[in-house]
Each structure stands twice: as C-alpha cells, then as structure tokens.
C-alpha cells in the first residue's frame, strides 16, 4: 500500500457529473476546451489511451478481415440502414415476439416518459435497491438521479461507471467511460467513499469493487441494463459486456428493466455475428466481447436463473426526428467508440468538452440533432474533417459529410454570429475564381508577415519567424499555438519558376 497522492498529482474533477452532461444551454464549448487544453495530464491520459486503442482496432481488424474489412463494414452499414428504412415494421415484429416470450414492452416518447415508466415499476415492487449495467441511454434520461430522488439506491456495476459514480463524475468515452482518470484518483475515491485503505494498485481496486458489488447483486430488487442490439424476429435483447456485470444485473434480481433506444434493432439472429465480430474489434481490437448475453423473455419455470419479470422500455427521445432520410444514417451507430479513438480533436480535448452524453465525432453530430443546433453551435466545428472517424466507423457513417451539413445549416439558419457568416461568405467568394483565390492568398500572406514577431526557432526549414496572435474570427488558430510566417515567395511562384527551369534544361 502507498500513501494517497496530493490533489495536484492527478487529474481532479472540478464539476459535478450532472453539470458536465447537462450544461446550461446554449452550450459554450470553448470554456470547457480551455480547461482541457490547459490540463497536460488529462491530454496525456486521453491521448495515449485512444492512440493505443485505435492501433489495436487497426491491427485486430486487419488480422481478422484482411482485404475484406471494407466489405464487412459495408455489410454492417447496409443491415443497419435497411432496418432503419423499415424501422416501424421491425419494431412491431419485435414487440409481438418479445410479448409472446413473456416480456412487458413499453414505448417512451421522451426521457420523462421513460423514467416515469421505470419509476412506476420500481414503486410497484417497492424497490429500495437497483443494480445497473452500463447504458448510454440511461445517461441520456438522467435515470440514476431520478431514481435516487424517489429514494431508490441505484448502483452502477460496470467498474468504470462505478468509479465515476463514487467520484460524482461523468463518463467521457462511450466504451471506456473513465478514460480521463488515473488510478491515483480512483484510489482516493475508494478510500473516501468506501472507507478502505488507500491503494492505487489496479488489481486491489478491482477486488474491492467486486467485494462491494457482489453483495449489491444479491440484495437488489431490480436489475437494469441497456441493450446493444434488439432482434426483431425473436424479440431478444443482446447485451455485450467484458466484465459479466450485465449478466449479473439481468439474471440475479427478480425484475429486469432494459432501457433501449429504438435504433438498436436488427432484423434477425443471423445478422448478429456481423456486429459481434465488428463491435469489440472496433472498440478495443479484441476478437469478441467476453460476455454476449442474449435474453428472450423472463425465466421459464424449468430454468434455474433469470428474472421472474422483464420489462423493455423502447426509447425514442428525438430518434424519430433523426430518422428522416437526410439524417437517418446517423442512427446506424453501434456505440463502439472507434470514431472517438481515431479523432485528433477528441484526443486533445477529451469527452467532457462536448457537454453531452455522446462525446467525440458521433456526439458532435447526434447532440445538436437531438438537442437543437442553436444549443450546440460549436459541436459541428469540433472536427478537423480529416475523415479518420469515417474510416474507423464499422457501420460506415459518413460523419464528416454530416458535420459539413450541420455547418451549412448553421450559416443558412443564421445561428452563427454575423461576423462568422460574413467571414465564410468572403471565403466562399474567394474560392469561386482563380484570381480571387490568388489575391486572397497574397493578402493573407502580407497580413501574416506584418504580424511576424521575429525568429524563435533555429530550425533552418522554419527560419521565417512566428505569428503569435491573429485577430478576429481566426483568433482561435493562435490561441494555443503559433503560426509559421508564410514565405515571401508563395508556392505558386515557386512552382512556375521550377517548371521554367525544368523546361530550360
Ligand atoms: S459513429 Fe461509428 S465509429 Fe463512432 S461510435 Fe458509432 S459506430 Fe462506432
């Protein structure tokens, strides 16, 4: 055992988890980004963990699929797109089959309705303790706070989520929710909240969590889960976890409630292997998630385990709006987190900067669409549009295309500031003709050279000085770094001269 490190030795939370996910609207991303970009430790954790997982995805997918990788992504995307194109049909089929298997299926139009159904079930069973496996949609509806408010103790059982709950923190990644934390802060939270001796040994911390959680499973009145997939032709729910906590939550307590977004549907069990092969490989590079739990109805009489009562709450909460043809593709998402791991912006600013349950590139799309573009005007710009997210996505969601669409909606919808709109109008004008483009380039070069603050770098290739600050709409470019001063001879003149000298030979 070692002694607890001081606050300054690790990344500490300064905001309550609820405020991180549900900020005051309209959301100002820049404020949070300032905190993240000034926090070298946070950047180190997030950057190294995401780079490692991204490389594991690349290696895992290459080993498994070789040159067929693109084909299986296309197939997965097509299955999801087909299901979304006929979602009403598949939802009806799912409800019929799940009901026939003994499940109570509910439909909730929004978060309030979903939570009201859940609270009613809890009250009917006089529930005092709920154990819960990881579910992004329950974060969306703020379920834990709602249950706690009516006196139902609700315990997260995914290890990462459990740690966050103890620390009053919020998830910052779809798959690895505590990617922004180090083991010292986990040790401190355990010592403070559980009264155990401080340790930062991961094995010891896991043992402590297991000891506490095992009892909770046994005592719980209700087990809650999300669902990775719903299978229409059998009425089954599929839960994929690496810790087995999903299986314990759904099998040990007498009542099971599953919260699932309506987009999680697939037509048939025969389609499931395509997604099981892609989900874990895209998330962490491993061939398959450790526990893949397929549930069809509550426990039958002859079965030794399982809940006596099962409820599935199908949640819309803005999804039918996204289902319109122009944005439907966004709902293919299987929440693998690969787009987050591959994104240079996410690696730099971390998940809390996005101010919502869904961080990273897919969050930059879904959050403005779910919660209003005017409320999240910064998110469509939280991307370099490099396309890494599109390449990583196992269901081929063209994230950059939709980010550009949202940017265009912002300009067209007058949600942006007047000065920004003018800036983009001028930029568009300058790109329309070769001579205006050339003139704009020359003027930008002159402007930047006038702001040159002298040579700071002895690198002979960059021996042109640096621009420390540019004003106006471009100010963000120099907020965290300097720009190299453009050379007096631009590329076009160099190229012309080069061609002439070649022709002269
Ligand atoms: S958008 Fe694609 S890559 Fe990102 S989480 Fe969803 S499925 Fe994974």
* Cβ of 283 below 6 Å from ligand 1: no
Ligand 1 centroid to residue 57 C-alpha, Å: 13
- In the chain, DSSP finds a helix count (H) and a strand count (E) of 22, 12
* Cβ of 32 below 6 Å from ligand 1: no
Fold of 7-320: Rossmann fold (3.40.50)
Using one digit for the tens of pLDDT, what is the confidence trace for 211-263?
999 999 999 999 999 999 999 999 999 999 999 999 999 999 999 999 999 99
Ligand 1 centroid to residue 400 C-alpha, Å: 12
Run of H or E including 189: helix 183-194
pLDDT recorded at residue 77: 98
pLDDT recorded at residue 10: 43
C-alpha–C-alpha distance, residues 126 and 144, integer Å: 17
pLDDT recorded at residue 456: 57
Ligand 1 centroid to residue 283 C-alpha, Å: 9
* Cβ of 392 below 6 Å from ligand 1: yes
* Cβ of 339 below 6 Å from ligand 1: yes
pLDDT recorded at residue 425: 83
pLDDT recorded at residue 494: 86
Per-domain boundaries in the chain: 7-320, 433-504
Instruction: State the angle between helix axes of 40-65 and 29-37 in degrees (0 to 180), rounded to the nearest 10.
Output: 90
Can you give the pTM of this predicted structure? 0.89
In sequence order, the β-bridge partners of residue 98 are none
DSSP string, 432-477: HSHHHHHHHHHHHHHHHHHTB-------GGGTT-EE----GGGGGG
Q: Which residues of the chain have pLDDT under 70?
A: 1-14, 414-415, 454-463, 504-505
pLDDT recorded at residue 502: 82
Ligand 1 centroid to residue 66 C-alpha, Å: 20
Atom of ligand 1 nearest to the CA of 360: 4
Using one digit for the tens of pLDDT, what is the confidence trace for 314-347?
999 999 999 999 999 999 999 999 999 999 999 9
Q: Whose CA is nearest to atom 2 of ligand 1?
A: 393
At residue 358's C-alpha, the angle toward residues 57 and 250, to 5°, is: 80
């Amino acid at each position: 055992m070692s002694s607890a490190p001081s606050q300054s030795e690790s990344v500490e939370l300064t905001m309550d988890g609820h405020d991180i996910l549900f900020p005051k609207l309209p959301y100002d991303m820049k404020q949070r980004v300032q905190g993240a970009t000034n926090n070298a430790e946070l950047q180190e954790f997030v950057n190294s963990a995401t780079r490692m997982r991204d490389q594991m995805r690349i290696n895992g997918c290459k080993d498994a699929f070789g040159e067929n990788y693109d084909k299986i992504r296309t197939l997965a995307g097509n299955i999801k797109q087909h299901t979304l194109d006929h979602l009403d049909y598949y939802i009806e089929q799912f409800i019929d089959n799940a009901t026939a298997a003994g499940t109570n299926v509910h439909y909730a139009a929004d978060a309030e309705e979903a939570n009201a159904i859940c609270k009613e079930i809890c009250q009917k069973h006089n529930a005092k303790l709920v154990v819960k496996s990881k579910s992004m949609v329950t974060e969306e509806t703020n379920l834990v706070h709602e249950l706690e408010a009516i006196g139902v103790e609700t315990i997260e059982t995914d290890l990462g989520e459990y740690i966050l709950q103890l620390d009053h923190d919020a998830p910052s990644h779809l798959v690895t929710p505590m990617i922004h934390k180090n083991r010292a802060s986990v040790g401190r939270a355990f010592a403070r909240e559980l009264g155990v001796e401080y340790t930062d040994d991961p094995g010891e911390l896991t043992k402590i969590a297991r000891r506490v959680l095992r009892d909770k499973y046994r005592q719980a009145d209700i087990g809650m889960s999300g669902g990775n997939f719903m299978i229409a032709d059998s009425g089954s729910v599929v839960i994929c976890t690496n810790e087995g906590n999903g299986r314990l939550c759904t099998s040990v307590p007498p009542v099971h409630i599953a919260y699932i977004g309506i987009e999680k549907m697939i037509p048939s069990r025969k389609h499931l292997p395509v997604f099981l092969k892609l989900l874990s490989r895209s998330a962490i590079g491993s061939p398959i998630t450790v526990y893949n739990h397929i549930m069809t109805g509550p426990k039958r009489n002859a079965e030794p385990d399982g809940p006596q009562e099962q409820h599935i709450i199908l949640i819309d909460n803005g999804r039918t709006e996204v289902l319109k043809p122009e944005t439907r593709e966004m709902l293919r998402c299987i929440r693998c987190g690969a787009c987050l791991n591959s994104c240079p912006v996410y690696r730099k600013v971390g998940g809390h900067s996005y101010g919502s349950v869904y961080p990273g590139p897919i969050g930059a799309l879904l959050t403005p669409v779910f919660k209003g573009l005017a409320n999240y005007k910064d998110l469509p710009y939280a991307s370099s549009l490099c396309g890494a997210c599109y390449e990583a996505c196992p269901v081929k969601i063209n994230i950059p295309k939709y980010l550009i669409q949202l940017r265009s909606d912002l300009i067209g919808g007058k949600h942006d500031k007047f000065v920004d709109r003018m800036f983009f109008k001028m930029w568009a004008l300058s790109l329309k003709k070769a001579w205006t483009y050339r003139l704009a380039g020359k003027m930008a070069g002159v402007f930047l050279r006038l702001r040159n603050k002298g040579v700071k770098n002895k690198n002979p290739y960059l021996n042109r000085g640096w621009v420390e600050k540019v004003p106006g709409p471009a100010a963000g470019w120099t907020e965290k770094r300097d720009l190299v001063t453009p050379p007096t001879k631009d590329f076009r003149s160099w190229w012309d001269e080069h061609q002439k000298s070649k022709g002269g030979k």
